[in-house]
Structure 1
Amino acid sequence: MTTSADGQPLIPQPPAMVTALRQAIAQITPAALPAFTRELDQAADQSRQGSGLSPLRRFTAQWAVYVYIQRQPHLAANLRHWEDLAETGGSAQALRAASELGKILDEAHAALTMPQP
């Protein structure tokens, strides 16, 4: 991942549209592209099988949050730290990690649902 020396996001937050998200992921975390494509195919299949657009909306919302976090190196590192602690720590550490991960995800969701100036 490219880093930003001044603590600014690596790229602007793209709109929650498949093409824009794919381009952003290709820039900041290209290793995530296979998962993006696999999950897009699954969401499209679910939509075709009669689920309406909900699977595609969930997909774009999930990946918009991913991009929001990954485009900010400090936030992405913080997320990885808490994910690692959740996997390797004891039960008290795992509970704290779950709480911190929830805060990061809540922040991302809130930022993406706020009206933009």
Structure 2
Amino acid sequence: MSAQPIHGPELIPRPAQTPTALYEAVAALIPHRLTEMTAEQARAMTEAVEHNSLKPLLRFTMKWAVDIEIARHPETLAELHRAEYLANHAETPEERRQQAALAGAIVNAAVEAVRG
């Protein structure tokens, strides 16, 4: 486990939390996820209209801002993928808990970073 969940050099500056800026960041960092992002944005927009609420759009924005925050740091992204893999393939419940806790700490640190 690392002492600092988000670490290593940044590939790009943290983008603004707008759909356009987030889309551009996804295109630059994790282009294989553009289709997923576009589909989630469409669902969020539909839900926002149906419920007359901005909450689905805010959830969409936060989710992608967090994913981008992690992807901006290749070492952290690799560490998250490793922890998720090891949690899913752990031989003991304790190992599963440790790796899941590490993955959770990385995501939580990214949430805190994007919230400022």
TM-score normalised by length of structure 1: 0.88
Higher mean alpha-carbon deviation, 87-96 vs 60-69, is at: 87-96
Distance 1:98 1:38 in 2: 27
Which residue number in structure 2 is paired with residue 104 of structure 1?
106
Percentage identity across paired residues of the two chains: 34
Distance 2:39 2:84 in 1: 22
* Structure-2 change in CA distance of 1:101 and 1:51 (3 Å): farther
Query: Partner of 1:74: helix, strand, or coil?
Result: helix
Report the residue type matching 1:39 in the other structure. Answer: E
Report the residue type matching 1:27 in the other structure. Answer: A
Shift of 1:51: 4.7
In the alignment of these two chains, the number of paired residues is: 108
TM alignment of 1:1-117, pairs within 5 A: 7-90=8-91, 91-114=93-116
Report the residue type matching 2:27 in the other structure. Answer: A
How far does the alpha carbon of each residue in 1:45-84 deviate from its partner, in whole angstroms, 9 at most, with x for none?
Answer: 1001015000000000000000000010000000000110
The structure 1 segments of at least 4 consecutive aligned residues displaced by more than 6 Å after TM superposition are: none
Query: Partner of 1:98: helix, strand, or coil?
Result: helix
Distance 2:37 2:52 in 1: 20
Gaps of 5+ in 1: 1-6
Q: C-alpha root-mean-square deviation of aligned residues, in Å? A: 1.0
Report the residue type matching 1:98 in the other structure. Answer: A
Q: Which has the higher contact order (CA 8 A, sep 6+)?
A: 2
